[in-house]
Amino acid sequence: MLILFLSAVVFLLPSLSLGKNKQVDTALKYSYVRELKYNRSPEIDRWNKYVGNPLGASYCGALAGYSIQKCTAPKIKSGLAQHYYRKAPDSLRFSAGDVLRGKQKVKAGDLVIWARGSTIYGHIAIALYDWDGISGWTVEGNTSSGRGSQYDGDGVFIRWRTIYPYSYFRIIAFVRVIQ
pLDDT exceeds 70 at position 16: no
In whole angstroms, what is the distance from residue 168 CA to residue 68 CA? 28
CA atoms within 13 A on the CB side of 39: 18
CA 55 vs. chain centroid, Å, equals 20
Looking at residue 155, its amino acid is: G
pTM: 0.87
What's the number of domains the chain is made of? 1
CATH for 64: 3.90.1720
pLDDT exceeds 50 at position 177: yes
Phi and psi at residue 170, in whole multiples of 5°? -145, 155
pLDDT in tens, 109-168: 999 999 999 988 899 999 999 999 999 999 999 999 987 777 789 999 999 999 999 999
> Please, which residues bridge with residue 38 across strands?
none
Phi and psi at residue 49, in whole multiples of 5°? -60, -40
Q: Which domain holds residue 162?
A: 2-175
Give exposure, 14-27, as e/b (b: 16+ Cβ within 10 Å). Answer: beeeeeebbbbbbb
Grade residue 18 by pLDDT with cuts at 50, 70 and 90. Answer: low
107 C-beta neighbours (distance < 10 Å), count:
15
Q: Hey, is 128 helix, strand or coil?
A: coil
Q: Hey, is 25 helix, strand or coil?
A: helix
Looking at residue 20, its amino acid is: K
pLDDT exceeds 60 at position 9: no
Contact 76, 88 (CB under 8 A): yes
CA diameter of the chain: 45
Contact 112, 127 (CB under 8 A): yes
